[in-house]
Amino acid sequence: MATPKEMLTTWDKVQFGAVLPAFEDPEHKKRSKFHSYNYSVADWRVEKPVFNRELCIDCDFCWVSCPDSCFIVEEVVNKRGKKQAKIVGINYNLCKGCAVCVEVCPTPIKSLLMFPEYVDNDEALKQWPTKDNK
């Protein structure tokens, strides 16, 4: 992917030591132009992870492991009245399809599985392995 012309800085303005700054708040943090947040990698994807809410235990492993902060999280109150992060989906505009989330998912039947890009998510959920067939 070619970098857009307006993002090409000159030798005297490049990041010192090629060190990339990070973000504090994913929504409001000021990031450099060439930070991965501003630099879409979604078109690298040939397979996509599909998220199965039914099986998810909200361990947040996928959220913490995702290199592109793809997981959409909602704040909910659990049974004991405590605040909890609930994984609700994947932002496919950020996901490059690296499958790290699938690797780290700890549920007996994975709550995240890779499917070809062209498979519809509802269709993918129908094809999900069951206990007898995992």
Partner 1 sequence: MAERYELKQKEVWDGNMAAAHALRQAQVDVVAAYPITPSTPIVQNYAQFLADGYVDGEFIMVESEHSAMSACVGAAAAGGRVATATSSQGYALMVEVLYQASGMRLPIVMTVVNRALASPLNIHGDHSDLYLGRDAGWIHIIANNPQEAYDLTLCAFRIGEDERVRLPVTTNQDGFLVSHTAQVVEPLQDEEAYKFIGEYKALNPMLDTKNPVTYGAQTEEEWHFEHKANQHKALMESFPVIEEVFNEFEKVSGRKYNVVETYKLDDADIALVLMGSAYETAMLAVDKAREEGIKVGLLMPRVFRPFPYNEVAEKLKNVKAIAALDRSAPMGTTGALYNEVAGALAAKGQSAIMTNYIYGLGGRDTTVEHILEVIRETEKNAKAGKRVTDLQGFINLRGPKLSFN
Interface residues with partner 1 (CB under 8 A)? 2-3, 8-12, 14-24
Q: How far is the CB of 79 from partner 1 (least distance, A)?
A: 32
For the CB of residue 73, give the shortest distance to partner 1 in the complex, in Å.
Answer: 19
Decide whether 7 or 77 has the Cβ nearer to partner 1. 7
Smallest gap from residue 85 Cβ to partner 1 (A): 19
Return the SS3 of 16: helix
Q: Which is nearer to partner 1, 29 or 53 (CB)?
A: 29
Which lies closer to partner 1 via its Cβ, residue 38 or residue 127? 38
Tally the residues of the chain.
Answer: 134
* CB nearer partner 1, residue 34 or residue 92: 34
CA 77 to chain centre: 23
d(CA 97, CA 45): 5
Return left, alpha or beta for 81; rule: phi > 0 is left, psi -120 to 50 is alpha, else beta: left
Helix (H) or strand (E) holding 76: strand 71-77
CB of 55 to partner 1, least distance (A): 32
Q: What is the DSSP letter of 31?
A: -
